[in-house]
Amino acid sequence: MDALIQDARTLFNVHFTARQMMSLINYEKELLEWNQKFNLTAIRDVESIRVKHFLDSYSCVLAWKANPPLRLVDVGTGAGFPGIPLKIVYPTMHVTLVESVGKKAMFCQHIIQTLGLEGIEVIQTRAEDLGQNPAHRESYDWAVARAVANLNILSEYLLPLVKVGGTMLAQKGESGPAEAQSAEKAMKLLGGKLKQLIPVNLPGVADDRFLVLVDKVAATPPKYPRKAGIPMKMPL
């Protein structure tokens, strides 16, 4: 864990209290245990979990620097990344985790209870359905997703959830810059405007990573997102 603490500090200026450290240790322990039964993540060894899950989650901090979101939605959170690690270091942030797979949503719920986290909820649904739900539509400062879908599809999942003046954040691999370029038309259609790409370097990880930031500059037209499954089949 020492390497994680140090890397989080030097790379992303993230500092942990003793209590937050305990939360991460417990989270890791539960993830390893549940993973044996439920196959929540392909990343199985402790070292990789720390770098590719925890540290990777904290790379989001580069996007907002000293001004973290008040309300964040994490779409396709899987086993809780990046939403739960971010909630641990920003206790006052309100976080909504969106996951359509039952066992993953159940694990997230379990972690929230185990760690005693408040102001965080898990919704088991599809992003497309949530985006048309008046209680969630255009109500978040930031919408984040990690490796969920190509950017032209992902924009249709995320941008409808972001309020005008807010930001969409996609955590991407080396295809990030090319995807961002080809998705600009889709972003514009949905009320977004490509803001910047931030390169991310994780220790011991060879492939390039990027944070793709898209500003929400106009309201999303009411017909988006389309029905569940359509964005994937017929990308904008």
Burial 124-159 (b: 16+ CB within 10 A, else e): ebbbbebbbeeebbbebbbbbbbebbbbbbbbbbbb
pLDDT value of position 154: 97
pLDDT value of position 119: 98
Separation in Å, CA 165 to CA 124, 155, 190:
27, 16, 13
pLDDT value of position 45: 81
The CATH number linked to 126 is: 3.40.50.150
Q: How many residues does the chain have?
A: 236
**Alpha carbons 64 and 184: distance in angstroms, whole number:** 21
Q: Number of folded domains in the chain? A: 1
pLDDT value of position 228: 95
Tokens 């797979």 belong to which residue?
101
Nearest by Cα to 20 from 85, 74, 68, 79: 85
pLDDT digits 0-9 by tens, 11-68: 999 999 999 999 999 999 999 999 888 877 777 788 888 888 999 999 999 999 889 9
Average pLDDT per consecutive 10 residues, the chain (236 residues; last block may be shorter): 92 95 95 87 80 93 94 97 97 97 96 98 98 98 92 97 98 95 97 97 90 98 97 95
pLDDT value of position 44: 75
pLDDT value of position 65: 86
**Alpha carbons 201 and 55: distance in angstroms, whole number:** 10
pLDDT value of position 47: 81
Range of the domain at 33: 2-233
Contact, 44 vs 195, CB < 8 A? no
